[in-house]
Structure 1
Amino acid sequence: MHRTYSMRQSRAPTASQIENPPPPSSSTKAGRLFGRSNFGHNFRKTTAGAFGPDLAKKLTQLVKMEKNVMRTMELVGRERMDVAQQLSLWGEGCDEDVSDVTDKLGVLIYEMGELEDQFVDRYDQYRVTIKSIRNIEASVQPSRDRKQKITDQIAQLKYKDPNSPRIVVLEQELVRAEAESLVAEAQLSNITREKLKAAFTYQFDAIREHSEKVAIIAGFGKHLLELVDDTPVTPGESRPAYDGYEASKAIIQDCEDALTNWVQSKASVRSNLSVRARTLSQRRKAKAEGVDLSHQDAPLQGERDGWVPASQHGEYGAEDDDDEEEEVHNGESRGRLSAAAEEPAAA
């Protein structure tokens, strides 16, 4: 029997990908100066926030910790694919029903590994959006520093030389610095709220899609297990001939169809608010008009359609100076193994 490892022969986009176009490949999938060891994880975590503006240090550390999370998810995806192939190879030497079912289970587990790979790409949308908040924080820090510096100079002059004519000049500069700082702080406040909501919408949408697709695979995996005859036999007794090849192929096809046709708008799991939560989620504006927050779990369709690579953001020209250890591209292929074209051998 020829073994199969990947679920789909064709690479046609799924309904979910049509509804929400996939983002660019995650930046964590590039080559790494430190390879795939834990050294890179520890290096990023210990050095994150050690440099750069004070205002952006905490978010810088969060961004680096999220990179560690994504590295781990990448590793999980690769390991699942290896496990799937090993399970299928082990099943070759078993009875026909076990051999066929383990082959198809390997297909499902391999697909779970590929879902992890796709999940990393969508999760990176969240991380890059959080990065944009970090960049804004870094850009606001100079205005804060300038205002504080002028304030300190004025206080020092008033202590040493209260009649110094330079005090008037510095006070005028302080007025201008405060005006610039007010503009920068307002922009930071507005952009932080906008990007925070966008970032976690990306993350929760990705988690929701990934989790439901994994649940779909688990359900069809249990259907495959029903094809294994676990009735005890006595020594010397033979089991009935296995006739489940077509059934196992049909189950795999049904699983493929379910994954291909899954869309966010028809998700099975719904987060319905209670009456109390819905009431508390009301927010009153100046004219006492309510804003119901209970329906704000729709995907950011417009945001996804207008996805811009990180390199095209204004602050991203040098924003990966803290990621320099990962800029060496190793040309690693991330393509799927193609499914075998041959049909499973009959009993």
Structure 2
Amino acid sequence: MHRTYSMRQSRAPTASQLENPPPPSSSTKHGRLFGRGEIGHAFRKGTAGAFGPDLAKKLSQLVKMEKNVMRSMELVGRERMEVAQQLSIWGEACDEDVSDVTDKLGVLIYEIGELEDQFVDRYDQYRVTIKSIRNIEASVQPSRDRKQKITDQIAQLKYKEPNSPRIVVLEQELVRAEAESLVAEAQLSNITREKLKAAFNYQFDAIREHCEKVAIIAGYGKHLLELIDDNPVTPGETRNAYDGYEASKAIIQDCEDALTNWVSSTAQVRSNLSTRARNLSQRRKANSIKNEGVDLSGQDQPIKNDRDSWVPAGQHGEYGQDEEEEDEEEEEERPQQSNGKRFSKAARA
């Protein structure tokens, strides 16, 4: 039998990985306190936004919900790999053509599972970038609280002791607090826009690569199906001997080459704007430049699009407690995943 029960256990970097190096493994792939079921999902969603500053609660809830999304995708990838293996096991007892094709189809489906696993890692870049906006929001909250506290104190003194000399002192403190708050708000505005664009660029680039590669696999899978003789036979009639082993191996090899050589610049799906949309977009950009206000970006530290430049939530005072509670959910390590399949072996079998 020409069984190819494995795919790539070790693989050279693809053209896409050379162009855009893969990110670190997703933080959601570590062990988890509540296992892999719905309990952990419900717990995260129910407690999201319950801790930390008010300003960061909504985005904190989004970050926790995205963690649920990623763990669901991770589960889909693992189960797709198991389905691929089972398909190959079932086909082993069938006729030669069905056995060979189902085995190669299992190879392709297993590859889709591996692509989904890689997609989770790239999707995590989006989530961690959004998380950095949440951390900035948490750092701005104290300046808002201080300004509000001083304002309340002044109003209370003016009501109870209109001639109190402390009112003058508090008004001076309020001026300083408002200045500090103005700078913090400007930084938040600038960084939010920068990080939001970077985050969704990560997500859309990951989605585009994943979908195009899945489409490539689907196309070669349909080529494999052409090797099955589906012409009906009468009882007692014998089918022609199957001679598609070399063809099926060549299809697998072509699929591997297509996946290896794929880069975003050669993507087949293009999002072309209509003339109206392009004109409106350009007009909006021109107006934003014309009406540009005071540039406060020079007050901020330059932000790079990498994880090393992000400020950990633990450096934002009390908000670090929420981050520690989130990390405590993942203290237990999960078993290592089984080795991946080997694509090139299928081509050589």
Same structural fold, with TM-score higher than 0.5 when normalized by the shorter chain? yes
Output aligned runs, 1:153-164, within 5 Å.
Answer: 153-164=153-164
Paired with 2:288 and 2:11, the residues of 1 have a C-alpha distance of 52
Deviation at 1:344, TM superposition (A): 9.0
Query: What is residue 47 of structure 2 aligned with on the other side?
Result: 47
Query: Aligned residue for 1:17?
Result: 17
Higher helix share: 2
Amino acid of the residue matched to residue 139 of structure 1?
Answer: S
Q: Within the alignment, does 1:284 sit opposite 2:273 as a pair?
A: no
Q: Shift in Å at residue 56 of structure 1?
A: 0.2
User: Within 5 Å, which residues of 2 pair with 1:93-112?
Assistant: 93-112=93-112
The residue aligned with 2:336 is: 333
SS at match of 1:234: coil
Q: Which amino acid aligns with 1:92?
A: E
| Structure 2 residue 303 is matched with structure 1 residue 307 | no
Q: CA deviation at 1:264?
A: 0.6
User: Following the alignment from structure 1 to structure 2, what is the Cα–Cα distance between the partners of residues 2 and 41?
Assistant: 43
Whether 1:323 and 2:326 are equivalent positions in the alignment is yes
* 8 Å contact from structure 1 (residues 3, 89) kept in 2: no
1:316 deviates by 4.0
2:31 paired with 1:31: yes
Per-residue displacement from partner, 1:7-54 (whole Å, max 9, x unpaired)?
A: 335410000000000000000000001111110000000000011100
Structure 1 residue 201 displacement after superposition: 0.2
* TM-score, normalising length: structure 1: 0.90
Which residue in 1 is equivalent to 2:220? 220
AA aligned to 1:99 is S
Give the distance between the partners of 1:75 and 1:313, measured in 2 at CA.
Answer: 29
In the alignment, what sits opposite 2:252?
Answer: 252
Deviation per CA, 1:39-97: give whole Å up to 9, x if none.
00000000000111000000000000000000000000001000000000000110000
Percent of aligned pairs with the same residue?
A: 79
CA–CA separation in structure 2 for the residues paired with 1:153 and 1:288: 42
Instruction: Give the structure 2 partner of residue 72 of structure 1.
Output: 72
Deviation for aligned residue 1:335? 5.6
Amino acid at match of 2:310: H
Contact 2:313–2:323 under 8 Å retained in 1: yes
In structure 2, do the counterparts of structure 1 residues 195 and 342 end up closer, same or farther at CA, with 3 Å as the change threshold? closer
Paired AA for residue 336 in structure 2: S
Distance change in 2, residues 1:118/1:32 (3 Å): same
Q: What residue number does 2:200 align with?
A: 200
- How far apart in 1 are the matches of 2:113 and 2:261? 19
Partner SS, residue 124 of structure 2:
helix
- Could you give the per-residue CA deviations for residues 152-208 of structure 1, whole angstroms, max 9, x where no partner exists? 000000001100011001001000000000000000000000000000000000000
Instruction: Note closer, same or farther for the CA distance 1:328–1:266 as it changes in structure 2 (3 Å cut).
Output: same
Offset, 1:325: 4.1
**Pairing 1:103-182 to 2, within 5 Å after superposition:** 103-182=103-182
Unaligned runs of at least 5 residues, structure 2: 292-302, 315-319
2:298 paired residue number? none
**In 2, Cα distance between equivalents of 1:71 and 1:247:** 38
Q: How high is the TM-score relative to the length of structure 2?
A: 0.89
2: CA distance, partners of 1:190 / 1:258: 41
User: Which residue in 1 is equivalent to 2:267?
Assistant: 267
Deviations for 1:74-129, whole angstroms, at most 9, x for unmatched residues? Answer: 00000100000000000011000000000000000000000000000000000000
Cα contact 1:44–1:65 (8 A) shared by 2:
yes
TM-superposed CA distance for 1:336, in Å, is: 3.3
Q: In the alignment, what sits opposite 1:298?
A: none
Q: Structure 1 residues 1-10 or 149-158, which shifts more?
A: 1-10
Deviation at 1:3, TM superposition (A): 3.4
CA offset digits 1:294-334 (Å, max 9, x no partner): xxxxxxxx96xx6335xx73224447324234331425324
- Deviation of 1:230 after TM superposition, in Å, equals 0.2
Question: Relative to structure 1, is the Cα distance of residues 170 and 344 closer, same or farther in structure 2, using a 3 angstrom cutoff?
Answer: closer
Q: Contact 2:151–2:174 (CA<8 Å) still a contact in 1?
A: yes
Give the direction of change, closer, same or farther, for the CA distance of 1:55–1:114 in structure 2 (3 Å limit).
Answer: same
Q: Does the 8 Å contact 2:249/2:346 carry over to 1?
A: no
* Structure 1: gaps of 5 or more residues: 290-301
Report the alpha carbon displacement of residue 288 of structure 1 after superposing the two structures with TM. 4.9
SS at match of 1:284: helix
